[in-house]
Chain A
Amino acid sequence: MKNRLKELRAERDWTQEGLATLLGVSRQTVIAIEKGKYAPSLPLAFRIARVFEQRLEEIFDPEE
Chain B
Amino acid sequence: MKPGRIVLLGTVLVYFGLVIASLWLLSLDTLTQASARYTVALLPLGPAAVVMVLAVRRYQKLHELAQRIHLLALAVAFVGTSLLVFTWSIFEFFGLFERFGLLGPISRPGREGSGGLLILGVMFTLYLIGLIWARRRYR
Contact = CB atoms under 8 A, between A and B. Distances in A.
B2 interface: no
A41 B139 CA distance: 18
Contacts, number: 28
A31 B139 CA distance: 7
Interface in A13-64: 24-26, 28-29, 31-32, 37-38, 40-41, 44
Nearest to B68: A38
Contact of B64 (A31, A37, A41): A41
A40 B64 contact: yes
B68 to A, nearest CB: 7
A37 B137 contact: yes
A26 B70 CA distance: 14
A28 B137 CA distance: 11
Interface of B: 63-66, 68, 137-139
Given A28-B65, A28-B138, A38-B65, 7 more contacts: A25-B63, A25-B64, A26-B63, A29-B63, A29-B64, A29-B66, A38-B68
A-B pairs with lowest CB-CB distance, top 3: A29-B65, A32-B138, A25-B63
12 contacts: A25-B65, A28-B65, A29-B63, A29-B65, A29-B66, A31-B138, A31-B139, A32-B65, A37-B137, A38-B65, A40-B64, A41-B64
